[in-house]
Chains A and B, each alone.
Chain A
Amino acid sequence: MASKNINILVKIWRQNGPLAQGAFEEHALKDISTDMSFLEMIDVLNEWLTRKGLEPIAFDHDCREGICGMCGAMVNGTAHGPDKETTLCQLHMRRFKDGDTIVIEPFRTQGFPIVKDLIIDRSALDRIIAAGGFVSVNTGSPQDGNTILIPQHVAEQAMDAAACIGCGACAAACPNGSAMLFASAKVSQLALLPQGQQEAKKRAINMVLQMDKDGFGNCSNHRECENVCPKGITIRNIARLNREFMKGSFAIDH
């Protein structure tokens, strides 16, 4: 843990509301410990702004352990910053050098209107889940958990897909603003498991339709989503979604 201190220049997006004009604001930060997390660096800046009576930068975060999916921003043009499979809250300042300029802006895509500064409205992702991202089973007395055996590798594959944290980085990185990686992760998880297979086709169709309604674009295989996903969700899931969607389109009259 060889900590040292660096000086950096931060260019950070400020925008007072969804319709307000936004702009970059610059702050020179001195003696930033390289052991700090990226969000702790913003905390330090915010404490300084607050003491001066200025409004701190609004940003979303909660768990600060890479699991809640609440944090996220573009750092020098990359969603969640330069580290592979790392959320913004898990990025550390040791990734940066003395004298670096760091440009920070919100995820920008049609599906996620800006609320304030780095905060965006990702409620569309909840609507996509509400459209079909579940197994239709009521609380009650289902059969014993071991009645249906699930091969270990299938459970593991389902878990790989289920690891999505709903951060929205995939949509922010996609040139088409598509949320396919997000939707496909849920479709895959449930299509892989016997419990979810009954509704697999209907689920795929309903979730894709909702995505369209919320203004997300289509997938044209740029693979940017996969590159920025902090949980290593692969585009194989999108192929699986497409399969379910095709099966569903033939089967369902609509």
Chain B
Amino acid sequence: MQLDSKIPEGPLAEKWDKCRFSNKLVNPANKRKYEVIIVGTGLAGASAAATLAELGYNVKSFCIQDSPRRAHSIAAQGGINAAKNYQGDGDSIFRLFYDTVKGGDFRAREANVYRLAQVSNNIIDQCVAQGVPFAREYGGTLANRSFGGAQVSRTFYARGQTGQQLLLGAYSAMMRQVATGKVQMYTRREMMDVVVVDGVARGIVCRNLITGEIEKYSAHAVVLATGGYGNVYFLSTNAMASNVTASWRAYKRGAGFANPCYVQIHPTCIPVHGDYQSKLTLMSESLRNDGRVWVPKKAGDTRKASDIPMDERDYYLERKYPSFGNLVPRDVASRNAKEMCDAGLGVGETGLGVYLDFSDAIKRDGLDVIMRKYGNLFQMYEKIVDTDPAKEPMMIYPAVHYTMGGLWVDYHLMTTLPGLYATGECNFSDHGANRLGASALMQGLADGYFVLPYTIGNYLATVAPTPTDTNDAAFDQSVEMVKDQTEKLMKNTRSGKGKETVDHYHRELGKVMWDNCGMARNAEGLKTAINKIPEIRAEFWENVTVPGSGQELNQSLERAGRVADFLEFAELLAKDALAREESCGGHFREESQTDEHEAKRDDENFSHVSVWEYKGEGTEPVMHKEPLTFENVTPSQRSYK
């Protein structure tokens, strides 16, 4: 596997210009002869579909849900970053770039992150022009908030529904192209394989989720914008259908998988409340601006929060990190909550929770002010937990939230499989080992509106504009492979041998992953996971029961296919975590810590991207390294003391 990142030569600020200038162009009259498949209609997919269609390409767009508007991006709450410096508080493209590289713990490519910061401003302008109702100041200018511990106010937002509004903007732009016929929309389709013809991606195979039919689609290039794999942990803040299937199948067809172990665990989620729990709900990070985090000093203290006197409470973040206090980055806040609970200091019925207390803020600013800021979040909390955070402290606990790892891509967003691109959360490119708040929305839209539309032309210009078809035998082989898998998944039920449900195995996998590949990892735990995962996988194939048939709408079958892939992918994630013997970003490796028990990065040995190459069933995957070099910033150890 060749890893050529294709980063243009020259000064950082000129690289993107250079790339655009040196790219080959597709003759405008020829654009209509090219077809592009885009899998996924989240921010990354919908924005690319709209833009490519506007340019004249023919787009085939696919999503799992009944409408493209329901992609997981819809759930993002907090906001989107841009380097507008509207507040005049010292922001700039370079500062956004620097914050993002530093936030990612110096494990991302400088050139990619710089480009992201450069196009961030265009995103805001584009969204305003589409009618996205961003929050405004009284004078009518766009409002900003500071987010995720940033020292400047650069986050644009639309109430607590920023993801929804940005996605609906991109969706509308895409539907406009559906009406013109430039975008063909295929909803309720699940991509099951990438079809490779003569070494290049030439199409996909999908399951039609209504009829069960396995369908073939061809194009001159294929883009995956299929989101993150957080659901490998079973419980996460991701939507139920979020999966690794599309990227995993691409990996098996030759696309390198980068940094699978980089997972972000968000500190402020509503704690787990029972075995029947199906997903976790995020409480926006902005709450830490006013809430104080604490646990009782005494283990096993069962008194009500309000009955515990001040001097018997441990405001542990304020104590340990006096200068950042409750606003330490996500990974630090998460790890500390876990440590407290592991030490028996956790609160709530399960002991897996810490308090986030607004009483001091309410005393200081008044209930009115606090409700204006967080009213909708308090309501959401009350709906789920049935207590009012204005009266009793919230209980929070960390949960899996975002995956920085993903398909390896070069500067053009092309994977190691020619003709196959990956955008948005499903690639690995911009967030290094840790993503800053409000940067995922920025990246998804940057990729789709402003990067891919330029870079994909450079590839298409080298492909003959002849009509595509699905006649190649490779399409039929993929179809057979998918049918085979369906057959295997359903055989236990037919033979009466199937005993356990898909969710049962998914839950079991999730537990192994959370216990051994979660917030803090060590070699022993990771080896345990690497041994256990294949056992669960074997049992799954032996005993899973999937009722119904493959030739109809069958949600058990859909989930079974996704879990089957998670069961394979999880092992790669654990292997990657084992190989990275340093702590960095969201990944805390217990063997690599400072005397003060803080994360210790090891730049000498691990300043690289780990890229895994599939070598076939039953053969160990091979890891390749893309070295990371820093010419414009000096990697420093993060310190929040």
Is B590 positioned at the interface, with any CB of A under 8 Å from its CB? no
Query: Are A70 and B281 interface neighbours, CB within 8 A?
Result: no
Query: Are B131 and A190 interface neighbours, CB within 8 A?
Result: yes
Query: Are A134 and B385 interface neighbours, CB within 8 A?
Result: no
Sorted from nearest, which 10 A-B pairs have the closest CB atoms?
A: A149-B140, A134-B172, A142-B129, A145-B128, A158-B133, A159-B133, A155-B136, A130-B175, A139-B51, A130-B179
Is A177 positioned at the interface, with any CB of B under 8 Å from its CB? no
Residues of A within 8 A of B288 (CB): none
Q: Among B109-117, B272-280, B327-335, which stretch is in contact with chain A?
A: B272-280
Can you list 30 residue pairs at the A/B interface with Cβ under 8 Å? A1-B386, A2-B386, A3-B274, A33-B276, A43-B276, A51-B545, A58-B555, A60-B66, A63-B72, A65-B281, A69-B70, A70-B70, A90-B380, A115-B553, A122-B66, A126-B175, A126-B185, A134-B130, A137-B126, A145-B124, A145-B127, A145-B134, A146-B86, A146-B142, A149-B141, A151-B136, A151-B140, A152-B137, A163-B159, A193-B133
Interface of A is mostly: loop
Query: Are B547 and A133 interface neighbours, CB within 8 A?
Result: no
A146-B141 contact, Cβ under 8 Å, with A130-B179, A162-B133: yes
State how many angstroms separate the Cβ of A149 from the closest Cβ of chain B. Answer: 3
Is B60 positioned at the interface, with any CB of A under 8 Å from its CB? no
Q: In the bound complex, how far is the Cα of B440 from the Cα of A54, in angstroms?
A: 41
Known: A64-B281, A129-B171. 9 other contacts (CB 8 A): A43-B503, A56-B547, A62-B65, A68-B70, A133-B172, A137-B126, A137-B130, A140-B126, A158-B133
Q: Give residues of chain B (183-227) contacting chain A, Cβ–Cβ below 8 Å.
A: 185, 187, 210
State how many angstroms separate the Cβ of B451 from the closest Cβ of chain A. Answer: 11
State how many angstroms separate the Cβ of B225 from the closest Cβ of chain A. Answer: 15
Query: Are B131 and A189 interface neighbours, CB within 8 A?
Result: yes
Residues of A within 8 A of B493 (CB): 53
State how many angstroms separate the Cβ of A40 from the closest Cβ of chain B. Answer: 5
Query: Are B273 and A1 interface neighbours, CB within 8 A?
Result: yes
Query: Are B130 and A47 interface neighbours, CB within 8 A?
Result: no
Query: Are A139 and B172 interface neighbours, CB within 8 A?
Result: no
Q: Give residues of chain A (142-175) contacting chain B, Cβ–Cβ below 8 Å.
A: 142-146, 148-152, 155-156, 158-159, 162-163, 165-166
Q: In the bound complex, how far is the Cα of B129 from the Cα of A56, in angstroms?
A: 45
Residues of B within 8 A of A61 (CB): 240
Query: Are B276 and A36 interface neighbours, CB within 8 A?
Result: yes
Query: Are A145 and B142 interface neighbours, CB within 8 A?
Result: yes
Contact surface of A with B, Cβ cutoff 8 Å: 1-3, 17, 33, 35-37, 39-40, 43-44, 47, 49-51, 53-56, 58, 60-70, 86, 90, 92, 94, 115-116, 119, 121-123, 125-126, 129-131, 133-146, 148-152, 155-156, 158-159, 162-163, 165-166, 189-190, 193, 195-196
Q: In the bound complex, how far is the Cα of B139 from the Cα of A155, in angstroms?
A: 11
Query: Are B141 and A40 interface neighbours, CB within 8 A?
Result: no
Query: Are A56 and B556 interface neighbours, CB within 8 A?
Result: yes
A155-B173 contact, Cβ under 8 Å, with A68-B239, A70-B66: no
**Chain B interface residue count, Cβ-Cβ cutoff 8 angstroms:** 86
State how many angstroms separate the Cβ of B164 from the closest Cβ of chain A. Answer: 6
Q: Give residues of chain B (369-419) contacting chain A, Cβ–Cβ below 8 Å.
A: 380, 383-387
Contact surface of B with A, Cβ cutoff 8 Å: 47, 50-51, 54, 65-70, 72, 74-75, 84, 86, 122, 124-131, 133-142, 158-159, 161, 164-165, 168, 171-173, 175-176, 178-179, 185, 187, 210, 239-241, 273-274, 276-279, 281, 348-349, 380, 383-387, 449-450, 453, 493, 496, 498-501, 503-504, 545, 547-548, 552-553, 555-556
Query: Are A67 and B161 interface neighbours, CB within 8 A?
Result: yes
A62-B241 contact, Cβ under 8 Å, with A56-B556, A129-B172, A135-B129: yes
State how many angstroms separate the Cβ of B56 from the closest Cβ of chain A. Answer: 11
State how many angstroms separate the Cβ of B83 from the closest Cβ of chain A. Answer: 13
Q: Which of B66, B130, B173, B553: most chain A Cβ within 10 A?
A: B66
Select from chain A the residue with minimum beta-carbon distance to B158.
A159
Query: Are B239 and A62 interface neighbours, CB within 8 A?
Result: yes
State how many angstroms separate the Cβ of A169 from the closest Cβ of chain B. Answer: 15
Name B277's contact: one of A40, A130, A135 (CB within 8 Å): A40
Select from chain A the residue with minimum beta-carbon distance to B71.
A68
Q: Which of A3, A43, A145: most chain B Cβ within 10 A?
A: A145
A123-B135 contact, Cβ under 8 Å, with A53-B493, A130-B178: no
Q: In the bound complex, how far is the Cα of B179 from the Cα of A122, in angstroms?
A: 17
Residues of B within 8 A of A64 (CB): 239-240, 278-279, 281
Residues of A within 8 A of B173 (CB): 134, 137, 139
Residues of A within 8 A of B279 (CB): 64
Query: Are B240 and A139 interface neighbours, CB within 8 A?
Result: no
Name A163's contact: one of B161, B171, B548, B555 (CB within 8 Å): B161
Name A137's contact: one of B86, B129, B133 (CB within 8 Å): B129
Residues of A within 8 A of B172 (CB): 129, 133-135
Q: In the bound complex, how far is the Cα of B496 from the Cα of A133, in angstroms?
A: 51
Q: In the bound complex, how far is the Cα of B384 from the Cα of A1, in angstroms?
A: 9
Query: Are A68 and B74 interface neighbours, CB within 8 A?
Result: yes
Residues of B within 8 A of A47 (CB): 501, 503-504
Q: In the bound complex, how far is the Cα of B449 from the Cα of A2, in angstroms?
A: 48
Query: Are B383 and A90 interface neighbours, CB within 8 A?
Result: yes
Residues of A within 8 A of B159 (CB): 159, 163
Query: Are A55 and B140 interface neighbours, CB within 8 A?
Result: no
State how many angstroms separate the Cβ of B450 from the closest Cβ of chain A. Answer: 8
Name B68's contact: one of A90, A126, A131 (CB within 8 Å): A126
Query: Are B555 and A139 interface neighbours, CB within 8 A?
Result: no
Query: Are B175 and A134 interface neighbours, CB within 8 A?
Result: yes
A1-B383 contact, Cβ under 8 Å, with A62-B70, A122-B66, A133-B172: no
Q: Which of A1, A61, A63: most chain B Cβ within 10 A?
A: A63
Residues of B within 8 A of A70 (CB): 65-66, 70
Query: Are A68 and B131 interface neighbours, CB within 8 A?
Result: no
Residues of B within 8 A of A155 (CB): 133-136
Q: In the bound complex, how far is the Cα of B171 from the Cα of A189, in angstroms?
A: 15
State how many angstroms separate the Cβ of A45 from the closest Cβ of chain B. Answer: 11
Residues of B within 8 A of A119 (CB): 553
Query: Are B131 and A195 interface neighbours, CB within 8 A?
Result: yes
Name B276's contact: one of A44, A56, A63, A67 (CB within 8 Å): A44
Q: In the bound complex, how far is the Cα of B161 from the Cα of A66, in angstroms?
A: 11
State how many angstroms separate the Cβ of A245 from the closest Cβ of chain B. Answer: 19
Residues of A within 8 A of B129 (CB): 135, 137, 142-143, 195
